[in-house]
Amino acid sequence: MNTKFLILALLSLSCASTFKPYTSEWKVSDGNDIFYAGISAKASEKAVATDSVSMKQRTCIDAAKSISTSPKISKFLVDAEKQTLSESELRELGKQIATYRITPVLLECQPGPKDSMFGGTDWASCQCLYSVIYPGGRSALQQDILKVK
């Protein structure tokens, strides 16, 4: 009886997801402020329907890239500053950020958490970590936020 319990416990541990979500946060690297954005996305419906892991992975990462280069990156930056902006203020800040032509750099991606210990949706969802260098660093972002308020 104890052997069956031990085997079941070991099986449960080995099947447990190792997903650790990326956090969106500012860090200083070599004296520069760098924003790290953890961006969650989903694979295309077609990829999920065909159950092709490589297709799910590719379309999920593409979706995360699309989010990272969209005006939504403004929201990630504002949220990290614990600021609340109205829709019009966020749009205005987004326009300002667009003039900087910021190009987020993909650092790594991981599949989303599995639905259960018996399988799940590897790469049906994912999270990618991007580094974002804001011109002038975090203090410049804070000034830009104040300008639109």
- pLDDT-derived band of residue 6, with 50, 70 and 90 as boundaries? very low
Instruction: List alpha helices for 1-149, DSSP H.
Output: 2-15, 45-50, 53-68, 72-80, 87-99, 137-148
Residue 86 has pLDDT above 70, yes or no: yes
- Please give the average per-residue pLDDT across 73-98, as a whole number: 90
Task: Provide mean pLDDT across the span 133-141.
Answer: 95
pLDDT at 133 over 70: yes
Q: Output the six-digit token pair for 69.
A: 């280069």
Tell me what pLDDT residue 2 has: 52
**Confidence (pLDDT) at 117:** 52
For range 46-73, the mean pLDDT: 93
**Residues, the chain, total?**
149
How confident is the model at residue 122, as a pLDDT?
82
How far apart CA 54 and CA 59 sit, in angstroms, is 9
* pTM (whole model) above 0.85: no
